[in-house]
Structure formats: structure tokens, C-alpha cells
A = this chain, B = another copy of it.
Amino acid sequence: MTTGATTGDGLDREALDHLETARVRVEPALRAALGRLPGRVRPVALYHYGWSDAEGRECDTGRGKALRPALTLLSAAAAGGDGAGRDERVLAAAVAVDLVHNFSLVHDDVMDGDLTRRHRPTVWSVFGVGPAVLAGDALLTLALQTLAPAPAAAAAVADAVQELILGQIQDLALERRDSATLTECLAMAAAKTGALLGCSCALGALAAGAPDGRVRLLGRVGRDLGLAFQLTDDVLGIWGDPAVTGKPAGADLRARKKSLPVVAALASGTAAGRELARVYRSRQELGPDEVARAAALVREAGGRDWALERAGDLLGDIEKTLDTGDLDESGVPGLRSLARLCVDRRF
């Protein structure tokens, strides 16, 4: 599945450089935006961003991947605009999508009761459920405030937020049910992850003043990338290295999450799939041995291969769209390498 120039450990250095560059370019504007949050909310948000500890002391830990801002900057460049973070409108768009992503993480951790995020205790587990809900609300509001001078961009982000919320509520509903079809799960992943990644790309193009066609095309690239990202994320949720992902090993299986490889395995009609269904139906807690056994069943039933192949297909679609899309060359290689990273990553 690996394409293009990657390093020995499967990571594309060029893509990591793009992420780091975007992080550095967007950080001052992002910090300035967080600085506008009201007094008592700010320390909670800064803690989540890894820029202060639980006591409010400055630090710099547990930073995110900055994937969404990077997509916005590179899409702005690919649409013929400025991807270097000098254009205020592009920068505001990059800040807004990052804030939306982090709003959703803070609320997700409350809803899922997750204790760890980016190798650190989650916001709700440090500050309590109330402050976590409110800090999430404040980050969402701040995202839309950031785009107040650009009504079309604000409307696009708000649409993406509604779709993201839809994806989350579908996810919760699927977790409660005994069965879920692969079609339902793919639709859920498209809404949960695809919408905001699509918006991250579309917004870059929009802020660069690109015509509708380019905005739509880059939006489609982002959506495809979002689904590929989620497929890879679900694979890492089962087989990822906890030291690299920052999440406990096999956590998704222990929580009996209906992630995409699992649902593919359950729908495979194989003996391993039926055995996995029995494990998922049983009420008892899964120990490390049972988790390892469930992971083996997902693999045996073809769930892992299906997810990796599907992610690879999406990567192919993305590369084709980028090749034929009449885009500015300054942003295309970066988008291509980020797409590869999303599929090949280990973190």
C-alpha cells in the first residue's frame, strides 16, 4: 500500500515537515485566539492544547498533529493562494478548523469517559465534567468567532460541525446496537472525520479566493483523506503501538467498539467473524489475552486487510484528483505527501 518516497519506518519525512511547518505558522494566531477566551475558561483550553499544566503553569507537551491547519494552508497554496501563513484569511481558516477539531476532542472525551489523550490526562478528568463541557463550548464558539468577518467560511465550518455532530451521534447509536452494517459505519466515519477534513481543505481554497470548482475539488480530496485517515485510525486502535499512538493497546476492542475493521470482520461471513461476534456479544470484561484473541479474529476474518485496502484505494483516488485537478503546483506535493502519511502513519 505504501507509495512514493517513505523512510524506513514507513513515515514520510516530507509530510512530517509539512505538519511541523503548518504548526509553527499557525501557532501564534491560535495562541492569540485562545488568549481571547474569557478568564476561567482559558486555562482549561490551554491545558487541553498542552500549553499549560493542570496548575496553569506554562509548558509545551502533548501537542496535536496539526493535520487540519496543514490541509488548510496547503489547499490555499494548491488553489493559487498563500500557503505560507501570511494571508490573514487563510490563517483564520486554519485556526478555526483546529479549534473545531479540539472542541470535538474535549467533548468526545467527556462522552466516552476516556482518561488519556496525547499521553496526558483528559480535560474532564483533571477539571471535571462541567468545565470540560464549557471549555468545549467555548472552543466551538471561538472557531465561529474567528470566521465572523468571512460569512461564507463561517457557514462552511458550521455545516461541517453539524455533520461532525451527526457522525458522533450515529457512532453512539451504533455502539448501543448489537449489529451495524458496513454501509452505516462508513457513512458515520465520513461524517465524523471526513466532514471536517473536507472543510479544512475547502476553507483554504475559499480563503484563497478560488472559484467554486476548485473549492469543491479540494473539499472532495479532504473528505477522501478523512475516510482514509479514519480507516487507518481504526487499524491503529487495534494494532497500534501504545507508546506511539498515546492510546492503551487494544482499547477499541476492550471497549467493544464497532470500528471499521471490526464491522468488516463481523460482516465477513467467515468462521473467525462468527467467533468475533460471540466475543462482542458476551458481557464479561476482556483481559489482555481475550483482546489479543479478538485482534487475531479481526485479522483472520479479513477486517484488517479490507481496511488497509480501502484506505489505499482512497489514497489512489486522492492522487488522481490532485493530478488532474488543474491546481497550483505549490500546494499539490504537500497534499499528496500528507495523504500518504494519513494512510501509512503509525501514530
Contacts and interface: CB of A to CB of B under 8 A. Distances in A.
Interface of A: 37-41, 44, 103, 107, 110-112, 128-131, 133-134, 136-138, 140-142, 144-145, 148-149, 151, 154-155, 158-159, 161-163, 165-166, 168-170, 172-173
Given A148-B155, A154-B148, A165 B140 contact: no
Given A145-B155, A154-B148, A111 B140 contact: no
Contacts of A44: 169
B166 A38 contact: yes
A103 B134 CA distance: 11
Contacts of A151: 148-149, 151, 154
B169 A131 contact: yes
A169 B111 contact: no
A110 B173 CA distance: 19
Contact of A162 (B38, B136, B154): B38
A246 B233 CA distance: 46
Copies in the complex: 2
A39 B191 CA distance: 12
A169 B134 contact: yes
A71 B25 CA distance: 44
Given A40-B173, A131-B172, A151-B149, A165 B137 contact: yes
Given A39-B166, A169-B41, A141 B128 contact: no
Determine the main DSSP class of A at the interface with B: helix
Given A112-B130, A140-B140, A151-B151, 12 more contacts: A38-B166, A41-B166, A107-B133, A111-B130, A130-B168, A134-B169, A137-B165, A138-B165, A141-B158, A144-B158, A145-B159, A148-B151
B133 A161 contact: no
Contact of A137 (B161, B163, B172): B161
A107 B165 contact: no
A252 B60 CA distance: 41
Given A38-B165, A140-B137, A162-B38, A129 B110 contact: yes
A141 B107 CA distance: 14
20 contacts: A37-B162, A38-B169, A40-B166, A40-B169, A40-B173, A112-B130, A128-B172, A130-B169, A131-B172, A133-B133, A134-B169, A137-B137, A137-B165, A140-B140, A144-B158, A145-B155, A148-B154, A149-B151, A151-B151, A154-B154
B134 A165 contact: yes
Closest 7 CB pairs of A and B: A38-B166, A111-B130, A145-B158, A130-B172, A148-B155, A40-B169, A141-B161
